[in-house]
Each structure stands twice: as C-alpha cells, then as structure tokens.
C-alpha cells in the first residue's frame, strides 16, 4: 500500500530497534539511519519526520510514545504526528496497530485517542 507517510513507534534515539521499528529502518535502507542520526533523537510524545527512502511512503514520522497506561501522552504523541502531517501537507497516513501495542496502551483506550484526534483535525 503506497501512502504519503508511515508512522513509526520509535525509541528515543530514532536509530532503529527491534520489531516494526527495525523493519522500517531495514526496508527504508541505510539512508534513513543516516538522516535519523542528524535529528538528535526525539523526546517522548514528540514527532520528527524523515524521507521514506526505499519504503512505499514518501515520509516516515517517528514518534516516541509513553510506556504504560498514559492516555494523555499517547494523545499528545498522536496529535503531534497529525500536526506534522498537516504542516507538511501530507494527505494520507498509516498508523499501524503496532503503534498502540508498542506504547502499552489498551486497544480500547488507544482507539479513543485516535478517534478524538482525527475528529479534532477535521473540525478545524
């Protein structure tokens, strides 16, 4: 599926890791790692954007979510990703279910975060 951006549940270094984060880095190629090294990491709930390189996506938005049941920080992370997408005029995005599982938040609560953020985006 080709999209404008894929959202990566990254670690604070943005230098890749295990699971989906590592798979995104591997599929995108070494250029993604090189660009991520220039970003000086990412704080929890913040978001940074890179090119997609060899991915079927123009960009990757990397966000570091909270550990544990912290719906407020998850909502902030999600909102920051959407704000960055709007700022860059990105029309379609892909948030994987892994984004929520990786952040250790229940599916029901994370679904509410997703819906609330998208509703807010479309009201403006």
CATH of the domain at 119: 3.40.220.10
Domain range enclosing 8? 3-123
Please provide residue 24's backbone torsions phi and psi, each rounded to the nearest 5 degrees.
Answer: -65, -45
55-112 per-position pLDDT tens digit: 999 999 999 888 776 778 888 888 898 888 889 988 776 665 445 444 444 444 444 4
Instruction: For residue 113, give the nearest of 76, 60, 59 by alpha carbon.
Output: 76
Structural domain count, the chain: 1
87 Cβ contact partners less than 8 Å away, ≥ 6 residues apart = none
Given a cut of 60, whether residue 124 has pLDDT beyond it is: no
* C-alpha span between 86 and 26 (Å, rounded): 27
Considering only the C-alpha atoms of the chain, give the largest distance between any 2 of them, rounded to a whole number of Å.
39
Mean pLDDT calculated for residue range 28-57: 96
Q: Give me the percent of the chain exceeding a pLDDT of 90.
A: 40
Model pTM? 0.79
């Amino acid at each position: 599926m080709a999209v404008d951006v894929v959202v990566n549940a990254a670690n604070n270094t943005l230098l890749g890791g295990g699971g989906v984060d590592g798979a995104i880095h591997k599929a995108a190629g070494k250029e993604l790692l090189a660009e991520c090294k220039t970003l000086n990491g990412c704080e929890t709930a913040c978001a940074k954007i890179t090119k997609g390189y060899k991915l079927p996506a123009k960009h990757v938005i990397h966000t570091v979510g909270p550990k544990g049941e912290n719906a407020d920080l998850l909502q902030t992370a999600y909102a920051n990703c959407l704000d960055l997408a709007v700022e860059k005029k990105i029309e379609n995005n892909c948030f994987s279910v892994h984004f929520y599982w990786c952040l250790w938040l229940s599916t029901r609560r994370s679904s509410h975060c997703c819906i609330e953020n998208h509703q807010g985006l479309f009201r403006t």
